[in-house]
Amino acid sequence: MKKIEAIIKPFKLDDVREALAEIGITGMTVSEVKGFGRQKGHTELYRGAEYMVDFLPKVKLDLIVQDDDVDACIESIVETAHTGKIGDGKIFVTAVERVIRIRTGEENEEAI
């Protein structure tokens, strides 16, 4: 099993969720996050004063999938979240040793 963490632009969330649903991925956790990389934020004018906005709003998706589904998930996220502009996001893939569904006690693949 693998954990896929995808940081994407907020307006792409619905499109990515629908694209993942089309390939059979329905479970995910979504968090509103802030951050920056090469995009480095921007300046804004507020009440006549200019200030730097370092952390830009993003959305983080967390998915736990079976090894066979990893490549399809990544391909789907990349194709759907891509705008070609700076700040499109990143995807991180890590190994998951164990998953437990609290309600039933099911473990690993049965718990996904």
Domain boundaries, the chain: 2-111
CB count within 10 Å of CB 76 equals 19
Given a contact cutoff of 8 angstroms between Cβ atoms, the answer to whether 4 and 63 are in contact is: yes
Best CATH choice for the domain 2-111 from the list 3.40.50.300, 1.10.3210.10, 3.40.50.150, 3.30.70.120:
3.30.70.120
pLDDT in tens, the chain (112 residues): 999 999 999 999 999 999 999 999 989 999 999 887 766 655 666 677 766 667 788 999 999 999 999 999 999 999 999 998 888 899 999 999 999 999 999 998 888 8
Quick one: how far is CA 36 from the chain centroid?
A: 15
- In this prediction the pTM is 0.82
pLDDT for the residue numbered 31: 97
CB count within 10 Å of CB 73 equals 23
CB count within 10 Å of CB 106 equals 13
